[in-house]
Amino acid sequence: MLTNSNCCPSDQSHAESLEPFKCAACDQRILDRYLLKAIDKYWHENCLTCAMCNCRLTQVGSSLFVKKDMILCKTDYLRVFGLKGKCSACSKDIPACEMVMRAGKNVYHLECFGCQDCHCRFCVGEKFYLDVDNNRILCEDDFKERMVLAQMATCPPSKLNTMKRDSCRKFESRPEQDRAA
């Protein structure tokens, strides 16, 4: 955590000595109006930078990360050391800083979050189904089709003929423009 101090009145021993703070990076005295205290050291605003991308940490927020003696911005920390996962649809890595969609315990790239049968993308608020047996997400139409097929697989042949006749009657009773689609 960065703290931006104006002369650090809380450090009484240092205030009594009246000696300026020394920057942990450049070892020069800090004569600026403001100084930074991070990881129990003092820094010039321009000297506290990310070890990977060299961005000034004061410009990217109030947090920094220390790992293996490196001071890093959040983006680089997550990129290098963050937890990575695999997309449940494409099996490619998902960087820790990337936005994702979740369904159950599955994690997806935004561009992979769609029906895994017909490949239609889901819109916000659209209903989808998680097929836990096959670990796939499905749109409503494909899910219903699978349910009908599963039901047909367990039905006796006489029941199948009844189901077939019922579905044909429903199809014949639909308006002409619906059947063309």
The predicted structure's pLDDT at residue 172: 52
Q: Is the pTM of this model over 0.75?
A: no
pLDDT in tens, the chain (181 residues): 454 444 444 444 444 456 779 999 999 999 988 778 999 999 998 999 999 999 998 887 778 889 888 899 988 888 787 767 889 999 998 887 788 888 888 888 999 999 999 999 988 888 999 888 888 899 999 988 888 888 777 777 666 566 555 655 544 554 554 444 4
CATH H-level superfamily of 3-80: Cysteine Rich Protein (2.10.110.10)
The predicted structure's pLDDT at residue 79: 79
For residue 62 the two structure tokens come to: 């109030």
67 φ/ψ sector (left φ>0, alpha ψ -120 to 50, else beta): beta
CA–CA distance from 152 to each of 53, 139, 155 (Å)?
A: 59, 20, 5
The predicted structure's pLDDT at residue 42: 93
Which has the closest alpha carbon to 58: 33, 29, 37?
37
The predicted structure's pLDDT at residue 16: 47
Spell out the domain ranges in the chain. 3-80
CA–CA distance from 46 to each of 17, 31, 43, 59 (Å)?
A: 25, 13, 8, 10
The predicted structure's pLDDT at residue 168: 54
